[in-house]
Amino acid sequence: MNRLFNRRSRPNTLHRKFRRQMMLLVLSVAITCMAVFTYIEYDHHREKALDQLKQTVMLEHAFLEKWLAERMGDIHILAHSQSVKSLDENAMRGDLQQVLAGRKEFSYITFVNKDGIGDLHGKTTNLTDREYYQEGKLLKETISGTLISKYNGKPVIIFASPITDKNNEFAGLITGAVELTTIEGLMKQFQYGTDGESYLVALDGTMITGTRLALGEMMETPLTQAAASGHQLTESYANYDGREVYGAYAWTNNGRWLIVAETGIEVVLKSIYAQLIMTALIILIALLAAAYASSRVAAHLSRPIEELLRGVRGIQNGQYGYVIDAGATKDSTVELDELLQVYNGMSVTLGKTVEKLQVEQAFADSVLNTAASFIIVLDHEGRVVRFNQACETLSGHTADEARGRPLHELQSLPKEREDIRLHMEHFARTGEVIAKFEQRWEAWDGRIHWVAWSNATMKDASGRVQFVIATGIDITEQRRAQRELAKNEERFRSLVNSIDETITIFDEDMRVSGMFGRPVQDLLNPVEFFLGKSLDELLPSEAAEPHKEALRQAFAGEPSVQEWALKTAAGGMRYYITSYSPFIQTDGRITGIVSVGREVTEFKQVQEAYMKSEAWLKNILESITDTFAVVDREWRFTYVNQEAERYLGRTAEQLTGRVLWDLYPGIAASPFGSAYRKAMSEQVKVSFEEFSELYNAWFETHIYPSKEGLTVYLRNVNERKGLEQTVEEAKDRLDTIIETVPNGILVFDDTGAITLANHMAEQMLGIQVGGGSGDAASFCLWNLADRGGVRFGEEGPPFLRVIRDGKPMNNLELSIHQGEKGRIIVSCNAAPFKNKQGEVNGVLVSLTDISKRVKSETELQKANDSLVRLSSMDGLTSVYNRRYFDAQTEAEWAKRTGEDGGFAIALLDIDCFKMYNDNYGHQGGDTVLKRVAQLAHDMLVLPGSFVARYGGEEFACVLPGASERQALELAEAIRARVEASRIPHAKSTVSRYVTVSMGVAAGAADSWEELVAAADLALYEAKRTRNSVAAGHLQGM
């Protein structure tokens, strides 16, 4: 070539100049094409390599996140297992070994106590300096960064889950260690090609998985710097060993680890080397061809013009390979001959170029037909020009069938067909298309698909629309997901709008963004009135400030509960209780506050009424002038009034909790002690009068038994006894004494006529002094009645029998009708008068108004019964409490007939209750406790059976007279009833609903406590699988 260009001595003829210019033109075109091709191919392969690296990183990220979650789940389940929560070392060791055998990734799993001391194969280690231990004390689960194990000195990562006791207090940790070599093995499953590599880097630059660097070494590259700032690199860089690479990354393990995938730049270049060589060869061939053609054109420039014209027309008609015969140029001029040669060269080059264009066209067709999107190209009249395979699959029409047809003819749905036709008419008139729209298409199999179309136009040089390119995406599944989301949202709104609490959502500006719950429906204003408003706009300033402070605390991550009150327009008070909890996103950000409020006015009113009633009862007891005391079944004083303090010589503080027999041993052998024991053992009321040598006084004594103990009422009757003695000894002083005593005194002769009545008797009976006549006796007959108000028959009041049989009558309780005043209750004592011959000639009757005492006794008994009932019930679930369970089970056990008498105890525990509380809140947990307690209570039909709250989420069913088979059948029925109630429990590891586990024990035992222990062991077995019933076995059976 240089020889040709440098030979300047030859004449600069037309064909020589033409040949030189032709060679330069071909060479410049070849170089330009090669440069453009090289740049495009290099950029294409670089982007392809980066995309594949990103896909590799995303696969590794998804796999690692899933693997970390599964391993964390293994440790979480262990930490919440029964053996671990009970801190049973033997059972815990077995469970740890079982999980370790099934999860080979863990090098060891160990228990760390609440003091931070871990024990592995007898080697104890202090782990209090570990971050995961500090996080565990805050009841947080942790996946650590890279650590050097204190047990084996190897680099590991630690999975840690806290253990809580029944009070939800920190009790220790379950930790699982995974060596970095295990992580490295996982990473080797994902590599980019044969020359690429993937590895993990810790946040501080420490290598976690091996590469050409050793584990634990530090590294820093432009990629790690870009990752720290959150940017992706699109250019090559020098990696840890100086190699020029492309790379991609992703963060995992909550931002602690960096996944890096790299491939060398030579890999990208290697893929285009062969193409560059082939292109160079083609260009070289083209240059040679051009040189040859130029030479031929120069030699045969004289080819006839007609031959040249024929060739040009052949090209015009698509005959790109046509070559003019060399013989046609033998007589032509040099210029024509060269022109014809150039034509032949152009013809060959043009043919090759067209061939390349056809290859490119085939490639474009392949891309269109392999695309998942629907691609349709329409001409300016709205007829189909291109129709890819995705469209063929959707419509059932082939590209050949669709080509040239209006698009609306391919749509089978009438409404959509009409919409397309109108769109195309609008396009024909205005040249405008709808950029985006959604439409249904019926597939060949009859299924309806939703397609989202995006339209673009292609214009010619004059600006006229030449083609419309429509690209569609199948959004059927997206539409289905949106419908399901709407249904779920509607279910959520129905749920929250049915609860009795008011749920309020506050945004980051502490303004109301949502209100739910049944009480919202009763508000005077619609929900829209509250939306967007702050507490200052909704509450008075003095009432709003505590709630604003609670919101600020919640935004700081501290939940709180507020008890508050508002004054009503009528001047009353309404009381409320409201809790505030932060709404925390998955990335830890607090984006709002959820408050749950309930009106507690009725509860406050009941509480105040109860306190008033209790104070009123205490005032009554303290105002009684007689002695009043209460002892429990262990003979310990539980209450004494002031009069009892005076007689007993000790204060209430000195007496309460002390045993009666220890303080006053002399009473045990007295009639009082015998009466107390009789009332307690036989559970019968005992009343008597007895002289106490200890106090040198007569006492009227009434003893009332109950399940809780005895209530003792003593009245000093020395005065009455003295009066009776004085009447007998000094009849001449009888009238004075009778008028001074606070009782009604009547004297009847042997005919039943009243011969004497004191003023008190006159007031009681409504008679006049000296009216001792048959009429007065008749009045007594019809106005005196028994305690229940039933009038006496013809025989008259019972005390008249004293005239007939001569026997005195004491403490006879009667009622006297006093007209509009109603009736009073009197205590009647009657004694006969005898003459010297011992014959009864009259009767003395004493009437004591005991209406107030009877009323006090009745009210006291009601209050006592109410106190007993309240002390026996669980305040939350309305079933019996633990105290009642212990006492009543003891009583039922004592009543069983012989050792063969059936007796069973079943213990019930709500599965995964802590997780329920964590997910639904303690109010939700309280609701579940009440629901399960009611379901269990409704299932008990055996006589004497009852259910009691045993503790926390545990309940006990006591089944007197039940066999083991009956108890197991009942337990299974309770379990099935709870499960069938379908109470939602999204965090349960057993079911989507609340379930229970039950342990049953029955049979001959030395004590009921032994049955409880056996049932507890059975419950432990049932909780291994949960949602099951297990039978316990007594020791020695």
pLDDT category, 211, cuts 50, 70, 90?
A: low
Which comes out higher in pLDDT, residue 117 or 899? 117
Find tokens 């062991």 and name the residue.
1017
Which comes out higher in pLDDT, residue 797 or 1013? 1013
Which residues are CB-contacts of 423 (< 8 A; sequence separation ≥ 6)? 433, 434
How far is Cα 510 from Cα 553, in angstroms, rounded to an integer?
12
Same domain, 239 and 161: no
Same domain, 538 and 652: no
What region, left, alpha or beta, does residue 515 occupy, with left being phi > 0 and alpha being psi -120 to 50 degrees? beta
pLDDT digits (tens, 9 = 90+) for 975-1021: 999 999 999 999 999 999 999 999 999 988 889 999 999 999 999 99
For residue 701, the surrounding DSSP H or E stretch is: strand 697-706
What angle is formed at CA 744 by the lines to CA 738 and CA 748, rounded to 5 degrees? 80
Residues of the domain holding 544: 497-599
pLDDT digits (tens, 9 = 90+) for 365-388: 666 666 667 788 888 778 888 888
pLDDT at 775: 46
For residue 125, the surrounding DSSP H or E stretch is: strand 123-126
Same domain, 167 and 189: no
From 198, 263, 238, select the one nearest 57 (Cα to Cα).
198
pLDDT digits (tens, 9 = 90+) for 907-920: 999 999 999 999 99
pLDDT at 1015: 94
Question: Could you give the percent of the chain with pLDDT greater than 70?
Answer: 83
Q: Is 630 helix (H, G, I), strand (E, B) or coil?
A: strand
DSSP code at position 636: B
Same domain, 51 and 200: yes
Q: What is the mean pLDDT of the chain?
A: 80
How far is Cα 848 from Cα 828, in angstroms, rounded to an integer?
6
Helices (H) then strands (E): counts for the chain? 32, 37
pLDDT of 1037 above 50: no
pLDDT at 302: 46
CA 12 and chain centroid, separation: 96
Same domain, 82 and 138: yes
End-to-end CA gap in the chain? 112
pLDDT of 244 above 80: yes
Residue type, 624: I
Question: pTM for the complete prediction?
Answer: 0.32
Q: Is 836 helix (H, G, I), strand (E, B) or coil?
A: coil
Is 777 within the bounds of a domain? yes
How far is Cα 382 from Cα 260, in angstroms, rounded to an integer?
50
pLDDT at 967: 94
For residue 728, the surrounding DSSP H or E stretch is: helix 718-729
Question: Mean pLDDT throughout 866-891?
Answer: 86
Same domain, 54 and 117: no
What are the φ/ψ torsions at residue 4 (nearest 5 degrees)? -70, -40
pLDDT at 777: 47
CA 98 and chain centroid, separation: 29
pLDDT of 354 above 50: yes
How far is Cα 159 from Cα 147, in angstroms, rounded to an integer?
11
pLDDT at 908: 96
pLDDT at 776: 45
Same domain, 897 and 1017: yes
What are the φ/ψ torsions at residue 747 (nearest 5 degrees)? -125, 125
Do residues 46 and 263 lie in contact, with contact meaning Cβ atoms separated by under 8 Å? no
pLDDT of 319 above 70: no
Do residues 806 and 814 lie in contact, with contact meaning Cβ atoms separated by under 8 Å? no
Q: What CATH number should be reported for the domain holding residue 1026? A: 3.30.70.270
Is 158 within the bounds of a domain? yes
pLDDT digits (tens, 9 = 90+) for 725-770: 775 666 556 566 666 777 788 888 877 788 888 878 777 777 765 5
Is 30 within the bounds of a domain? no
Max mean pLDDT range (184-193, 326-335, 977-986)? 977-986
pLDDT digits (tens, 9 = 90+) for 605-653: 777 766 776 666 666 666 666 888 899 989 999 888 888 888 788 888 8
Residue type, 248: A
Max mean pLDDT range (74-78, 571-575, 771-775, 784-788)? 74-78
pLDDT digits (tens, 9 = 90+) for 848-870: 888 878 877 778 777 776 776 67
For residue 76, the surrounding DSSP H or E stretch is: helix 14-79
Cβ burial 3-17 (10 Å sphere, 16+ → b, else e): eeeeeeeeeeebbbe
Do residues 925 and 985 lie in contact, with contact meaning Cβ atoms separated by under 8 Å? no
How far is Cα 910 from Cα 975, in angstroms, rounded to an integer?
10
Beta strand ranges found along 131-190 (DSSP E): 142-143, 147-148, 155-164, 170-179
**Number of domains comprising the chain:** 7
Residue type, 481: A
The HSE-up count of residue 286 (CA atoms within 13 Å, CB side) is 25
Cβ burial 183-221 (10 Å sphere, 16+ → b, else e): bbebbeebebeeebbbbbbbbeebbbbbbeeebeeebeb
How far is Cα 465 from Cα 468, in angstroms, rounded to an integer?
8
**Three-state SS sequence of 529-593:** HHCCCEHHHHCCHHHHHHHHHHHHHHHCCCCEEEEEEEECCCCCEEEEEEEEEEEECCCCCEEEE
Query: In the numeric block, which tokens belong to residue 942?
Result: 């055996």
According to DSSP, the β-strands at 237-238 and 709-716 are unpaired
N residues, the chain: 1037
Biggest CA-to-CA distance, the chain: 194
How far is Cα 748 from Cα 771, in angstroms, rounded to an integer?
12
Same domain, 728 and 851: yes
Which comes out higher in pLDDT, residue 679 or 427? 679
Cβ burial 461-493 (10 Å sphere, 16+ → b, else e): eeeebeebbbebebeeeeeeeeeeeeeeeeeee
Do residues 727 and 718 lie in contact, with contact meaning Cβ atoms separated by under 8 Å? no
Same domain, 671 and 685: yes
From 231, 221, 228, 225, select the one nearest 262 (Cα to Cα).
221
Same domain, 928 and 1024: yes
Is 560 within the bounds of a domain? yes
Same domain, 847 and 919: no
The order of strands in the sheet holding 840-849 is 754-757, 744-749, 840-849, 823-834, 809-817, 784-786
Find tokens 């003979």 and name the residue.
635
What are the φ/ψ torsions at residue 280 (nearest 5 degrees)? -60, -40
pLDDT of 921 above 80: yes
Q: What CATH number should be reported for the domain holding residue 230? A: 3.30.450.20
* Residue that finishes a domain, picked among 687, 716, 745: 716
From 941, 955, 835, 937, select the one nearest 885 (Cα to Cα).
955
Is 488 within the bounds of a domain? no
Is 570 within the bounds of a domain? yes
What are the φ/ψ torsions at residue 251 (nearest 5 degrees)? -85, 145
Do residues 999 and 974 lie in contact, with contact meaning Cβ atoms separated by under 8 Å? no
pLDDT category, 318, cuts 50, 70, 90?
A: low
pLDDT category, 4, cuts 50, 70, 90?
A: very low
Q: Per mean pLDDT, which range of 278-287, 349-358, 478-487, 582-591 is the poorest? A: 349-358
pLDDT of 157 above 80: yes
Q: Per mean pLDDT, which range of 509-513, 557-561, 787-791 is the poorest? A: 787-791
* Residue that finishes a domain, picked among 454, 480, 506: 480
Residue type, 925: G
**Three-state SS sequence of 223-256:** HHHHHHHCCCCCCCEECCCCCEEEEEEEEECCCC
* Residue that finishes a domain, picked among 480, 514, 530: 480
Same domain, 523 and 584: yes
Do residues 218 and 205 lie in contact, with contact meaning Cβ atoms separated by under 8 Å? yes
pLDDT category, 897, cuts 50, 70, 90?
A: low
